[in-house]
Amino acid sequence: MNQPRLPRDFYEIFFHVNFKDFVTIRQEYNLSEEDFLFIKRTFWPIVQINIPTHEEKLNLMHYCKTKFELEHGCFDSKQFIKKQITPLLNEMEELKTCYEYRRIKIWRSFNNENFMWVDRPKDFSFAHKLFITELDPTILFFYCQSIIEDIQHYITYYLPGNLGRKKRIFKTRDFVITYILDCYAKGEIPPLGSKKELERIGNQRMGPGKGNRFYKVFNEVIKKDLNREECLKHLLGSSWKETILSLTQNPELLQEYLHQKKL
């Protein structure tokens, strides 16, 4: 069994640039000499669409993020977004524009797969022209939109609070409130009165030796109504949501909880 292909960047999560030799392509699709030469001259390299599951997408995005960090020695969200995410978002927006102006055309169909020609303006940035896919242009349009939404979702949940700025210093209160809201989001009750357990959680969330401070601040904060936005702004400031999404251990669950509470 072949091992799953790992992407080099975010683009290859959703698209596969196919550099098969010309002879293989010609045989696979039984192309005439005229069609073969037209493809070779006009569309190379061929781009195929990947449609990963939600879990596969998330795992591959994490893989690309980790790979980028290892290659650069540290992780800078601003540079990561600039080098991997922005080019893909731009290409998706341009493909959508091509569709809206009827510039995505089915050139030929082979074996129920469409060769789609993107007749794009010269000032468009993307270089890919040909897709082999079962999707028709309309479905491709919505697929591009779904990619944009998937990436924006990833930025919101998994790249918060690190946009190339100086390292932010969080207060004990930030960690405590995030922990309490994480508990609420999971339907759990924080361990009230359990000093030992709260100190353990504080050491785990903030680092060794911080547990006692975490415990003391917890006893102050737990009395507050954290389901009120005014309270969260008072305790954490106007960027309270960015703070807790930077520190949460369950970003999607917490975001859903905030949405339910209309926060």
Q: Are 25 and 39 in contact (CB under 8 A)?
A: yes
pLDDT band at 217 (very low <50, low <70, confident <90, very high): very high
SS3 assignment, position 134: coil
- Phi then psi for residue 133, to 5 deg, are -160, 155
CA–CA dist 137, 109 (Å, integer):
13
The 10s digit of each residue's pLDDT in 170-179 is 788 999 999 9
For the question of whether the overall pTM of this predicted structure is more than 0.95, the answer is no
Total residues found in the chain within this entry: 263
Higher pLDDT, 229 or 118: 229
Average pLDDT over residues 74-101: 82
Q: What local confidence, expressed as pLDDT, does residue 2 receive?
A: 39
Q: Is the per-residue pLDDT at 160 higher than 80?
A: no
- Residue 73 falls in which region: left (phi positive, over 0), alpha (psi -120 to 50) or beta: left
Report domain extents, the chain: 11-158, 172-260
Q: Is the per-residue pLDDT at 43 higher than 90?
A: no
CA–CA dist 241, 222 (Å, integer):
18
Q: Are 98 and 168 in contact (CB under 8 A)?
A: no
